[in-house]
Amino acid sequence: MTRGDISATLRAASIRGLIVLAMVAACSGSEREVKEAEVERARTALLPFKNELKSTFLKGLEEGPVEAIAVCREAAPEIALHHSTSGIEMGRTSHRLRNPGNGPADWMNPLLESYVKGSSEPYRAVVLDDRRVGYVEPIYIQKPCLMCHGETVAPVIAGQIEQLYPGDLAVGFEEGDFRGLFWVTIPLEDEEQ
Ligand code: HEC
């Protein structure tokens, strides 16, 4: 190899290095911090879903636990869909699922894990690859939840749950336990980048 060959090889190598660097820089566009305004928009988008779910659920409980199961089953996805408009999507997920249809998207897994490990952050927000922001809030078990998610579930409820959700993992919780996440995705604010 001549001296010229060597320097050409080195140049080619450093150009390749630059290209790799440029690609890394381009891909890490999604590493930018979530803006406060985006957090605010996500939180605002989630609020009516949370409120409507709660009031519908309380109404269901007044009619009886079996009716409340129907509310959880049918109303929750409907309410989520109803509030998911103009590029905003939302729902609930968990590390211990009752309905596998509520399974987490990839980006939710590390967030679920951080709460399972005891994080007490009131919310987490991340920039996603598809120019969206993913925002989650933890859900904790309260007393009324134990009826259907606790250690001991009345036979009439347990029977119903077993029939509807054969692979149910969402029992055995105690008050205060982390139960899962509310999640919402919104488009990024327009950026001047
Ligand atoms: C009357 C029974 C009942 C009660 C009480 C109840 N749930 Fe559920 N829960 C269900 C059912 C049924 C589902 C499955 C809903 C579906 O099919 O999407 C569910 C699903 C969930 C999910 C979605 C993730 C998954 O596992 O599919 C979360 C989160 C959840 N419940 C949290 C709670 C919390 C928090 C409370 C108390 C505030 C509560 N639940 C009270 C019956 C109940």
Tens digit of each residue's pLDDT (9 = 90 or more) over 19-65 = 555 544 444 445 689 999 999 999 999 999 999 988 988 888 888 88
Global confidence as pTM: 0.84
The span from the CA of 176 to the CA of 95, in Å, is: 16
pLDDT for residue 25? 46
Consecutive H or E run containing 116: helix 109-116
pLDDT for residue 28? 47
Here the tokens at position 43 are 């939180």
**147 Cβ closer than 6 Å to some ligand 1 atom:** yes
**170 Cβ closer than 6 Å to some ligand 1 atom:** yes
Cβ-based neighbour number of residue 176 at 10 Å:
10
Give which of 170, 188, 161, 146 is closest to 98, Cα–Cα: 170
